[in-house]
Amino acid sequence: MNPAAAPHVPVLLDEVIAALAPCPGERHVDGTYGAGGYTRAILAKGAEVIAFDRDPDAIAAGKTDKPRLLMLVEDRFSRMTDHVDQPVDGVTLDIGVSSMQLDRADRGFSFQADGPLDMRMEQAGESAADFVNTADEEEIARVIYEYGEEPKSRRIARSIVAARPLSRTSELANIVRRASGYKTGDKKDPATRTFQAIRIHVNRELEELQDGLAAAEQVLKPGGRLAVVTFHSLEDRLVKRFLKSRSGAAPAGSRHLPETSKSVPKPTFAKVGKPIRASEAELARNPRARSATLRVAHRTDAAPWPTQRKGTS
């Protein structure tokens, strides 16, 4: 199968495959199947792939031409331990919303074209419209500030509550623009941050990432490779902290903070490299890659750390 055949080639594809180094006889997990770009590239190296996606549309599309070495699972990647029955050689995660979801107005992820205010990856549960129409002003402001890093979050939340009920992406985008003082021709549309924040909240994306990293730690065999691609600082910060902690690179004790080495489990990851970003050649082909960051680490033979939080529901 040719990776180029995928309708949306994922960013940093060559770098991810180089980091995973899949080969015949190996077994890999693709936690974010999407259009199947990473999966096809891994399969092309002769490895088996267990591919997860919480979006039923992605799974349905993948089943139209399912190769012999591919197992598709409609579930969140944080639940990979429920479906993986033996240790694997690699896990890859491409975090955030997919191009296919953004490009479809009826999914409500983008304000580039008007559509229903939805944003649900699983197409079930609380929608973006449910959230903005029922949450109180303080909660809306908190979500926009924390997940969108929006300094005008209170003003935007106040405007959203005053305009309720909302049902369309264009309605929400226009409310955010007016509350932010946006003028046509401004460099960046302020609606971007609010849409990102609400999407992250509705899909519990940061909790999913946190649980998914812990799940990858559990399913990887000694020497197994983890490759995670993120697209904004909130995601990358979580991955960086996880790998720093799990590789034993967290700050040591001091006279103010005693040593805790006796209570800290052994490092579960090693060979944690520097962050990798897209080349100029890739940026010219795919501007979406500009914000992408790849972090890679190798699993040690240490036991997984105790679970610190329950999986997302």
CATH code for the domain of 288: 3.40.50.150
Torsion of CA 66, 70, 76, 82, to 10 degrees: 130
Confidence at residue 45, expressed as pLDDT on a 0 to 100 scale: 97
In a domain, 232, yes or no: yes
How, if at all, do strands 269-270 and 293-299 pair?
antiparallel
Q: How far apart are the first and last CA of the chain?
A: 34
- Are 111 and 146 found together in one domain? yes
> Mean pLDDT for each 10-residue chunk of the chain (313 residues)?
49 96 98 94 97 94 86 97 97 84 80 93 95 98 97 98 98 96 87 96 97 98 98 96 92 50 84 94 89 97 81 39
Q: Which of 203, 231, 263 is the last residue of a domain?
A: 203
- Are 57 and 110 found together in one domain? no
- Are 71 and 30 found together in one domain? yes
- Are 81 and 114 found together in one domain? no
> Which residues lie closer than 8 Å to 23 by C-beta, 6 or more apart?
45, 46, 47
- Are 90 and 116 found together in one domain? no
- Are 112 and 131 found together in one domain? yes
Helices and strands counted in the chain (H then E): 12, 7
Confidence at residue 222, expressed as pLDDT on a 0 to 100 scale: 98
In a domain, 213, yes or no: no
- Are 139 and 162 found together in one domain? yes
In this structure, how many other beta carbons lie within 10 angstroms of the beta carbon of residue 60?
Answer: 12
56, 76 contact by CB (below 8 A): no
In a domain, 313, yes or no: no
- Are 125 and 271 found together in one domain? no
- Are 88 and 226 found together in one domain? yes
184/216 Cα distance (integer angstroms)? 45
Domain membership of residue 246 as a residue range:
3-99+222-299
In a domain, 216, yes or no: no
In a domain, 215, yes or no: no
Exposure string over 273-288, b if 16+ CB within 10 A, otherwise e: eeebbbeeebeeebeb
Q: Which of 203, 235, 253 is the last residue of a domain?
A: 203
- Are 34 and 174 found together in one domain? no
In this structure, how many other beta carbons lie within 10 angstroms of the beta carbon of residue 223?
Answer: 13
Amino acid type, 279: S
- Are 87 and 230 found together in one domain? yes
* CATH code of the domain in which 163 resides: 1.10.150.170
**Beta bridge partner(s), residue 93:** 228
Domain total of the chain = 2
Please report how many Cα atoms fall inside a 13 Å half-sphere around the Cα of residue 149, on the Cβ side.
4
In a domain, 151, yes or no: yes
In a domain, 146, yes or no: yes
Closest CA to 104 of 121, 90, 91: 121
99/106 Cα distance (integer angstroms)? 14
In a domain, 212, yes or no: no
Q: Which of 138, 171, 203 is the last residue of a domain?
A: 203
- Are 68 and 124 found together in one domain? no
Closest CA to 296 of 277, 281, 283, 282: 277
